Amino acid sequence: MNRKYRKTIIAGNWKMNLLPSEVKGYGEKLKCLAPKVKWCEIVICPPSLMLQAALKTFSNARIHVGAQNICTEAKGAYTGEISAAQVKDLGAKYVIVGHSERRQYYGETDKQVNLKVNIAIENGLIPIICLGETLEQREMGITLDHIRLQLKIALSGVPADKIRKVVIAYEPVWAIGTGKTATSEEAGEVCKEIRAQLRSLYGARIARSISILYGGSMNGDNAAELLAQPDIDGGLIGGASLDPEKFYSIILAANQ
């Protein structure tokens, strides 16, 4: 982490877990645990039908809310979708874009990710852009090439005066929900390369200001070691975010 230049962020991605009736109880527990967190921005990303409940629950706390996905279109006949404008109108601040599960299970392409990044920014949301390689790509030795391409496509059309409103999350696909975690050195190497690519696209000053998160089985036991890497500025947390105490242990590591 480097707080001199950028924000530390711990974001919880609930995925398709918990119930609307459980949001308030979860929120009260987390608020009791984290009243004095000052060095770390906390974000909760629940399923879309829980956004309003989460926003209400965390309205009196320094905890932000984000969506897990948005549509590539602004509005129209897209049954089952949720627009960036709708998410913003509710009061959410963030949106996860291009999560590997969206890419893998729903065929989301790099081009669609790019459309979502741009429409999120246009509507005043901060996109958390997910990048990551499969185990096969890592074993082939093309991890960095793959990440560079994903990042370049995702940021196509994003001007320099808007790029500061973006967060990047490196999430090796092979480490998501598997209990496997990239070593701190492996994660640090990729996040360093992401910042180098940002530098080549937007210059050094902008590159050093953008927060890069690690996602992929981060937990209370490994968070401090991962966050000690100079180019890892936080985490995108899946399973561990479903338990307020486990989530708080990661927040605590980031708040040191």
Instruction: Name the residue with tokens 């913003």.
Output: 88
Catalytic residue, candidates 41, 108, 133, 171: 171
Measured distance CA(114)–CA(156) in Å, rounded: 7
Active site residue 171: yes
Structure tokens at 211: 């927060």
Task: Output DSSP code: residue 69.
Answer: -
For 74, the token pair is 């602004």
Q: How far is CA 130 from CA 68, 110, 114, 252, in A?
A: 11, 11, 11, 23
Residue of 99, 101, 108, 193 marked catalytic: 99
Beta bridge partners of residue 10, listed in sequence order: 42, 235
Residue 227: CB partners within 8 Å, gap ≥ 6? Answer: 1, 8, 233, 234, 235, 253, 254
Name which of 167, 182, 150, 161 is nearest 233 in CA terms.
167
CA angle 171, 188, 149 (to 5 degrees): 55
3-state secondary structure of 127: strand
Tokens of 132: 């990551």
- What single-letter DSSP state applies at residue 155? T
Beta-bridge mates of residue 169? 130, 213
Given the structure tokens 């089985």, which residue do they identify?
217
Q: Is 136 a catalytic residue?
A: no
Judge contact between 54 and 44, C-beta under 8 A.
yes
Helices 110-122, 143-154: axis angle to 10 degrees equals 40
Which positions are catalytic?
99, 171
